[in-house]
Amino acid sequence: MTDLPKPMTEPPVPSNDLAVLASRINSEHDEVVKAVVHGADHAIRAGKLLLEAKIAVRHGDWSEWLATNCRVSERSAQLYMQLAREFPQGLAGVSLTAAIKMLEQLKSPEEKSLLGSRRQSSKRNPIGEAIKSDPLAILEKAWAAANDMERNIFVKKIEKDVGSPIQPGH
């Protein structure tokens, strides 16, 4: 079984000592790296076991066997097996970002949907909103701010997209 997460040993007390803060930040970052690599190593070990089981299960019975005997979705099982094939020796030398991206694939569609809606609601796109509310005003402002070279590029792009030259004054 897995170890339970350790409770924070130090309460998040504000500190004016930047050296202390840096030390604590670095310590917490090291723990994040260990946890991600530890989690990915478990996924690789599970993948090796799944590959072994898949060989042992009669042809055509894999999905049913997996659903009956394991608490892992078929998609997660596929990802675990893929990790086991690609990283049989573990994640030594793999960056934190790469390890997180590998584990990101293991999220259920519900978790991905929840994260996606959080990201969308937390980030505003003022330019996109302005374009949606009054696209002509945005184009007029862009045209007014553009120099002659930029205007020529813009005209050529429109002509290419439309398929015919633009007549001045039309």
Nearest-angstrom CA–CA distance, 99 and 16 = 34
User: Would you say 151 and 139 are in contact if contact means Cβ atoms under 8 Å apart?
Assistant: no
Which residue ranges make up each domain of the chain? Answer: 18-108, 127-162
What are 53-86's pLDDT values in tens digits? 999 999 999 999 999 999 999 998 998 898 899 8
* CA 24 to chain CA mean position, Å: 26
| Percentage of the residues of the chain whose pLDDT score is greater than 70 | 75
pTM: 0.51
Short-list 148, 28, 61, CA closest to 53:
61
For 24, left (φ over 0), alpha (ψ -120 to 50), or beta?
A: alpha
